[in-house]
Amino acid sequence: MSRSILITGANGALGLAIAEFFLTREESCRVFLGVRERRERAQELAARYSGRADLITLEITSPDAWKTALAEIETQAAPLGVLINNAGYLSRRVEDCLGRNRNSGRTARRPD
């Protein structure tokens, strides 16, 4: 039986590398590339591994998006077997706690 793998943040370098790792080493896996935006590189990978890699739209902060993604994975393949939660998320509370860089007194910049 094939294994379903979901990688969040699959549009960045690390997410793409993790996906390619599974795709090149495990013939029976089905990799779902969880992306929110900037999909081009993930689309290229999915095209290269057509039938074994699929894009899935996922906003990690939305419970409804998770339910939809998991239902889609289960419909297209097997129930989710592996989750690699690679997507970055910086909440306002964490950002507020970081507030100022102690060494310089400058306000910390939120990552893009």
- Residue 105 covered by a domain: no
| Digit-coded pLDDT (tens) for 7-42 | 999 999 999 999 999 999 998 999 999 998 878 999
Asked whether residue 91 carries a pLDDT value surpassing 80, the answer given is no
Flag whether 16 is in a domain.
yes
Closest CA to 99 of 110, 87, 88: 110
Phi-psi category of residue 31: left, alpha or beta, with phi > 0 → left and psi -120 to 50 → alpha: beta
Residue range 35-79, pLDDT digits in tens: 988 789 999 999 999 999 999 999 998 999 999 999 999 999 989
The total number of structural domains in the chain stands at 1
Burial of 37 (0-12, 13-18, 19+ CB in 10 A): exposed
Which residues form the domain of 17?
A: 3-98
- Give ∠ CA 9-31-61 in degrees, rounded to 5: 35
Q: Tokens 């793409």 correspond to what residue?
A: 16
The answer as to whether 106 is a domain residue is: no
Assign residue 74 the CATH number of its domain: 3.40.50.720
pTM of the model: 0.78
Within a domain: 45: yes
In a domain, 43, yes or no: yes
- 93 CB contacts (<8 Å, ≥6 apart)? none
Look at the block and give the residue holding tokens 């910390």. Answer: 108
| Residue 104 included in any domain | no
* 87 three-class SS: coil
